[in-house]
């Protein structure tokens, strides 16, 4: 009888430990977020993806509607190929456009989907034609500096 | 000068011999473990002794570490106006570092010392010698079950520590301070990777379990058969075990997360 109660306690301990691991995996980790249920993929090409990473959210009107599945490089067009995994119950017109945006000033980058007006919807494997690249801060600064310098040299000519 | 060189040589040779003896004991114990398959009862007994009795101290420590992480994390994050990241901070620090390391340190103090004292006393009272007389291998009968029980119990205890700690951080952050509940969990789930963070944390705790348990068993096994010898062995278990955990933690972190 004493054997049995000891076994019960050991079993309880092991189950508790396993439950803790499950809790970590499901609630703390992103195992549950990984399976979106039924989904379809879209492909988008960007000239520059900035700091976009796999598993970054795809948002439309601020709501997460999918995630970035993988990022590749196409050496014929020299563009980044981004594969998006979209939730199956969310449909978008086939002339929707994708932008790479940043949440907050220094936050993570995500893809913003802007719905178009076409009657046809995207289906599995379609390509998003109109895309807008990430804003690279260095380019922005150098453009600003060049335009300032151009203004300055004009001023000297006068 | 010659004496000085000789003393260095002696020191290094003794160190190497000691290391070799440890490794041989370790190997012999692993081989002796094969005999355990038919006597799995011995292992469950030890899991009860090592695991169940450590559960309370581990859970309470985890809870309070979680509380403190919640308070301190909020204090720092608040300065940058990003207190929503509190959940991520608490979860990552617990799962990657604090869970395995603090659990292993407590484990060395709570379970390791009792293993050393038990085996040291068995040796001092010549129980191990008596077993050998009866053709029972003390490695199979005494060391191996305790070793495997430690290796099983340690990751489970570390997982309990992390889980309770996250709940502690939740209690302080969301319930007491008032961080947004949805942001707390979603930032955590967005930032914690299943394999890279949780899997490596579990792997760490397994390695620590092997190291701490074996050090405790070995120190008891080679303890001088006197009361002072057992006392010294118990102290050495805590000192060597804790230092080994910290050193292994640095090594594993450098390998895993670089």
Query: What ipTM was reported for this prediction?
Result: 0.84
Note the pLDDT of residue A13: 92
- Digit-by-digit pLDDT tens for chain A (158 residues) are 577 888 899 999 999 999 999 888 888 776 655 555 788 889 999 988 887 877 788 888 888 888 888 889 989 989 999 998 888 888 888 888 998 888 766 667 888 989 888 888 888 888 888 888 887 778 888 988 998 888 877 766 55
Strand partners, A74: A79
Q: What is the pLDDT of residue B186?
A: 80
> Which residues of chain B does A25 touch, with a Cβ-Cβ cutoff of 8 Å?
194, 198
Question: Among A13, A29, A30, whose Cβ lies nearest the Cβ of B156?
Answer: A13
Instruction: Tell me: pLDDT of B167 over 90.
Output: yes
What integer pLDDT is reported at residue A28 of this predicted model?
A: 78
**pLDDT mean across residues, chain B:** 92
> Can you tell me the distance from the alpha carbon of A22 to that of A20, in angstroms, rounded to the nearest whole number?
5
Question: Is the model more confident about B186 or about B145?
Answer: B145
Supply angle C-alpha B28, B30, B33, rounded to 5: 110
Q: Tell me if B190 and A33 make a contact (CB, 8 A cut-off).
A: yes
Average pLDDT rounded to a whole number, residues B175-182: 88
Region of A21 (left: φ > 0; alpha: ψ -120 to 50; beta: rest) is alpha
Using the beta-carbon criterion (under 8 Å), do A24 and B159 form an inter-chain contact?
yes
Chain B CA closest to residue A15: B156
Q: Does residue B165 register a pLDDT over 70?
A: yes
Distant-in-sequence, close-in-space partners of A60: CB < 8 Å, separation ≥ 6: A90, A92, A112, A113, A114, A115
> How many percent of chain B have pLDDT more than 90?
81
State the smallest CA–CA distance between residue B137 and chain A in angstroms. Answer: 24
**Whether the Cβ atoms of residue A24 and residue B163 lie closer than 8 Å to each other:** yes
End-to-end CA distance of chain B: 45
Helices (H) and strands (E) in chain B, counts: 12, 0
| Nearest-neighbour CA in chain A from B28: distance (Å) | 27
Among A82, A68, A60, which Cα is nearest to A33's?
A68
**CB–CB of B159 and A21 under 8 A?**
yes
Q: Find the range with the poorest average confidence among A29-43, B134-148, B175-189.
A: A29-43
A85/B100: higher pLDDT: B100
Based on the number of CB atoms within 10 Å of its own CB, is A31 exposed (0-12), middle (13-18) or buried (19 or more)? middle
CB within 8 Å: A27 and B185: yes
Nearest-CA distance from A52 to chain B in Å?
14
CB crowding A70-90: b at 16 or more within 10 Å, else e? eeeeeeeeebbbbebbbbeeb
Instruction: Please spell the DSSP secondary structure of A33-63, one letter per residue.
Output: HH--SSEEEEEEEES--TT--TT-EEEETTE
Interaxial angle between packed helices B53-79 and B144-170, expressed in degrees from 0 to 180 and rounded to the nearest 10: 40
Residue A94 makes CB contacts below 8 A (sequence gap 6+) with: A116, A118, A120, A121, A122, A126
Residue B3 has pLDDT above 80, yes or no: yes
With contacts defined as CB-CB under 8 Å, which chain A residues touch B160?
16-17, 20
């Amino acid at each position: 009888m004493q054997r049995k109660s000891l076994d019960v306690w050991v079993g309880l301990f092991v189950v508790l430990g396993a439950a803790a691991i499950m809790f970590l995996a499901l609630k703390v980790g992103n195992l549950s977020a990984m399976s979106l249920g039924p989904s379809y993929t879209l492909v988008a090409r960007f000239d520059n993806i900035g700091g976009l990473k796999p598993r970054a959210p795809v948002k439309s009107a601020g709501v997460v509607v999918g995630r970035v599945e993988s990022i590749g490089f196409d050496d014929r067009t020299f563009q980044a190929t981004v594969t998006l995994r979209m939730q199956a119950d969310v449909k978008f017109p086939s002339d929707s456009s994708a932008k790479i945006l940043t949440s907050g000033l220094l936050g993570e980058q995500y893809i913003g989907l802007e719905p178009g007006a076409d009657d046809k919807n995207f289906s599995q494997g379609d390509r998003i034609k109109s895309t807008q690249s990430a804003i690279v801060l260095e380019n922005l600064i150098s453009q600003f500096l060049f335009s300032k310098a151009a203004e300055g040299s004009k001023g000297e000519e006068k | 000068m010659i004496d000085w060189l000789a003393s260095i040589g002696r020191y290094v040779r003794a160190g190497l011999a000691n290391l070799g003896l440890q490794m041989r004991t370790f190997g012999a114990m692993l081989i002796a473990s094969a005999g355990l398959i038919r006597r799995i009862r011995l292992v469950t007994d030890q899991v009860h002794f090592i695991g169940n009795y450590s559960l309370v101290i581990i859970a309470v420590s985890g809870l309070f570490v979680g509380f403190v992480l919640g308070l301190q994390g909020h204090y720092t994050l608040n300065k940058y106006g990003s207190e929503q990241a509190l959940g991520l901070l608490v979860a990552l620090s617990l799962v990657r570092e604090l869970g395995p390391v603090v659990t292993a340190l407590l484990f060395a103090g709570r379970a390791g010392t009792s293993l050393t004292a038990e085996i040291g006393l068995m040796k001092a009272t010549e129980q191990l010698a008596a077993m050998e007389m009866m053709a029972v291998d003390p490695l199979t009968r005494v060391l191996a079950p305790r070793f495997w029980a430690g290796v099983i119990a340690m990751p489970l205890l570390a997982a309990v520590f992390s889980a309770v700690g996250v709940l502690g951080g939740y209690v302080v952050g969301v319930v007491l301070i008032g961080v947004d509940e949805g942001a707390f969990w979603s930032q955590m789930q967005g930032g914690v990777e299943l394999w890279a963070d949780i899997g490596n944390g579990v792997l760490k705790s397994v390695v620590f379990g092997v190291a701490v348990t074996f050090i405790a068993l070995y120190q008891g096994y080679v303890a001088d058969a006197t009361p002072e010898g057992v006392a010294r062995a118990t102290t050495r278990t805590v000192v060597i075990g804790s230092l080994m955990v910290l050193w292994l933690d640095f090594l594993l972190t450098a390998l895993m997360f670089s």
